[in-house]
Structure 1
Amino acid sequence: MRQNPARRVALLDASIEVLAREGSRGLTLRAVDKEAGVPTGTASNYFANRAELLGQVLRRTRERLTPDPSELADTMKIPPSQELVKTLLCQLVERMRRERNTHLAMMELRLEATRRPELQEELTDFSVAELDANIGFHLGNGLPGDRTGVVLLYLAMLGLIVDDLTVPDLLTPHGLDALIDAMATRLLPES
């Protein structure tokens, strides 16, 4: 397998674009080559098979969706409170909108995992670790609420993000900021 890290990232980013646009069935090594603008066969030099590609795309989506460390550090200067939680959630929605195709690709990976046990196992392990890290971040920074409240907030935000990606006008009459405010207030009461 080839080891050029920049080329590997470019192929993974091309895979995300193909997944977002064509869905899982459209994700082939040839389609990745075409999207990346590289010679046919290049992706097969980096990924032994489609299953390996899917696993690496899963990890790349997380890299692309991780908050910018300096932006997060600036945000975390706000004292722990519901207001800080609301700010973090609004930033999450902004990242989702900036990285719309990455979120769509992640949704495709979730659907594909229902048909591929090896991907389901990897996705489950990955998601458990991510949720645990989010809970640890929340509680470790003294934000309001408990473990259960953070899990409920995760589930509520996941639904909000899916609807905003797939049926954006559904939530428009309710106001996204108002919904985020209500979620934080109701699920994570100040002590």
Structure 2
Amino acid sequence: MARRNEERRAALLDAAIEVLAAEGARGLTFRAVDQRAAVPAGTASNYFANRDELLTQAGGRVYERLGPGEAVLAAGFDGPRDRARLTELMHDLVARVTAFPTGFLALLELRLESTRRPELREVLTARIRADLEGNLAYHESAGLPGDRSTVLLLYLALNWLVLEQLTLPELLPDQQRHGLVTTLVERLLDAGPQA
């Protein structure tokens, strides 16, 4: 029964992500989640104490689904750890994030909502900080080229590139976006250690 409850909770959170992406944070209601998940009315309210809990847990679920998985993480330690490998990993990252567009858009909605909800901002800040620190530690332990600033700049630039791709897809053609990722890695590495 516990497994079934966890599967139902995950399905409700997946539905909440879809609602956030389609309707925004204001559209996220228990009723909307129940409808999107195709479950009886009142189901979401049995799993989440309130809307704030639903918002917070939906953010956590996005990160679960966006995670690279063990195979991708292990691949960072395979083969040469050079510019080409870092570039490949960044292309893979952009592809993985853009393959789950509603997740990224839901996170944007959660970030906007966090400007009005200090508790949500605290949870998101901690989660995103942990994710960023994990990326920095992974980069260092894998022995990939570049320093801490390189990783931070990649994080910031690629997040905005993904935002452009998902919100204004006609702005930059696919081939141009691909070339920008490669150019970004090359220029950051050519710049050398950053402050």
Fold agreement, TM-score > 0.5: yes
Q: Does 1:145 align with 2:121?
A: no
Q: 3-state DSSP class of the match of 1:40?
A: coil
Runs of 4+ more than 4 Å apart:
none
2:114 aligned residue: 113
Looking at structure 1, the residues matched to 98 and 158 of structure 2 have their Cα atoms a distance apart, in angstroms, of: 13
Q: Deviations over 1:99-121 (max 9, x none)?
A: 11111111111111111111011
Q: Given that residues 11 and 33 in structure 1 are in contact (C-alpha distance below 8 angstroms), is that contact kept between their aligned partners in structure 2?
A: yes
Query: Which residue identity lines up with residue 85 of structure 2 in the other structure?
Result: L
Q: Given that residues 19 and 28 in structure 2 are in contact (C-alpha distance below 8 angstroms), is that contact kept between their aligned partners in structure 1?
A: yes
Moved more, 145-154 or 42-51: 145-154
Looking at structure 2, the residues matched to 153 and 71 of structure 1 have their Cα atoms a distance apart, in angstroms, of: 18
1:39 aligned residue: 40
Q: Given that residues 11 and 43 in structure 1 are in contact (C-alpha distance below 8 angstroms), is that contact kept between their aligned partners in structure 2?
A: yes
Q: Given that residues 135 and 147 in structure 1 are in contact (C-alpha distance below 8 angstroms), is that contact kept between their aligned partners in structure 2?
A: yes
The alpha carbon displacement at 1:135 in A equals 0.6
2:160 aligned residue: 159
The percent identity for this pair of structures is 49
Q: Where does structure 1 lack aligned partners over 5 or more consecutive residues? A: none
Q: Given that residues 76 and 84 in structure 1 are in contact (C-alpha distance below 8 angstroms), is that contact kept between their aligned partners in structure 2?
A: no
2:49 aligned residue: 48
Q: 3-state DSSP class of the match of 1:33?
A: helix
Q: Deviations over 1:3-26 (max 9, x none)?
A: 810000000000001111111111
1:27 aligned residue: 28
The alpha carbon displacement at 1:39 in A equals 0.7
**Cα root mean square deviation, aligned:** 1.8
Q: Given that residues 150 and 188 in structure 1 are in contact (C-alpha distance below 8 angstroms), is that contact kept between their aligned partners in structure 2?
A: no
Q: Given that residues 76 and 142 in structure 2 are in contact (C-alpha distance below 8 angstroms), is that contact kept between their aligned partners in structure 1?
A: no
- State the number of aligned residues: 190
Q: Where does structure 2 lack aligned partners over 5 or more consecutive residues? A: none
